[in-house]
Amino acid sequence: MIQEQAFVKQLKEGNIHAFNHLFDSYSSRLYGFGIKYLKSETDAEELVQDVFLKIWRNREKLKEEENFHSYLFTVAFNQIRDYFRYKVVFLDVDEHLELMPSDNSTETTITYRSVLEQIKALLEKLPDKKQKIFYLSRFEGKSAKEIAVIVGVSPKTVDNQISEVIGFLRERLKESGPLLWLFYWLFIQ
């Protein structure tokens, strides 16, 4: 761990040897992680490249005291989530165009609002503090540490509360239609 922190510190300073060391240490594990979710060798290779490119570009923001492994796999997970969002929104559009009316902007807006209202109605059944934690996390994109400061609890409590809300929503949306389930998977989970 201490040696890893030293490499992260050197990477922050632009040391390409430190970058190469971290790449060599983590690329195969990251590739395996990508294969598990993406089911494609090419996409997994691109994931590794994209993640390390992002690490290089944002190297000055790295915090050597934080766990690099966790940071790296969080970036990878977010890249995978973005990939699936992109795929659903842009790559699969042609398949669904035949099923949609030619002018669907109003219909799409109404459907989206309806789904969002159903999610919000479920969230309103939760205690106020739990609602606030979840909204700050999923709708405002705040980290567990930021939320902990705002709400006055520990980051671990924030993580636990978010997990409980996700479980609550998953349970309530199990029998819902595919649109609600897709919204949950893309934006809530």
Note the pLDDT tens digit of each residue in 33-67.
888 878 889 988 999 999 999 999 999 999 888 88
Residue whose C-alpha is closest to residue 54's, from 29, 77, 35: 77
State the first-to-last Cα distance of the chain, in angstroms, to the nearest integer. Answer: 30
| Spatial CA neighbour of 69 closest among 88, 87, 51 | 51
Q: Residue 75: inside a domain, yes or no?
A: yes
Asked, for residue 99, whether it belongs to a domain, the answer is no
The verdict on 8 and 63 lying in the same domain is: yes
Number of domains in the chain: 2
Tokens describing residue 134: 């979840």
| Residue 176 confidence class, pLDDT cut points 50, 70, 90 | low
Q: Which domain holds residue 65?
A: 2-91
Query: Of 60, 91, 122, which residue sits at a domain end?
Result: 91
Same domain, 7 and 67: yes
Tokens standing for residue 64: 């050597």
Nearest to 161, CA basis, from 147, 175, 150, 174: 147
Using CA atoms, how far residue 126 sits from 130, 168, 171, 181, in Å, is 6, 9, 14, 20
Task: Judge whether 98 lies within some domain.
Answer: no
Q: Is residue 96 part of a domain?
A: no
Specify if 57 maps to a domain.
Answer: yes
Helix ranges (H only) for 13-151 are 16-38, 41-57, 68-86, 93-97, 105-123, 128-134, 144-151
pLDDT tier at 69 (50, 70, 90 boundaries)? confident
Residue 112 lies in a domain: yes
Asked if 12 contacts 62 with a C-beta cutoff of 8 angstroms, the reply is yes
Please tell me whether residues 63 and 125 are part of one structural domain. Answer: no
Do 179 and 116 have their domain in common?
A: yes
Checking if the pLDDT of 95 tops 50, the result is no
Residue 97 lies in a domain: no
18 and 85 part of one domain: yes
Least confident among 42-46, 99-103, 165-169: 99-103
| CATH number of the domain bearing residue 43 | 1.10.1740.10
Among residues 91, 118, 138, which one ends one of the domains? 91
Same domain for 114 and 87: no
Whole-number mean pLDDT of the chain?
78
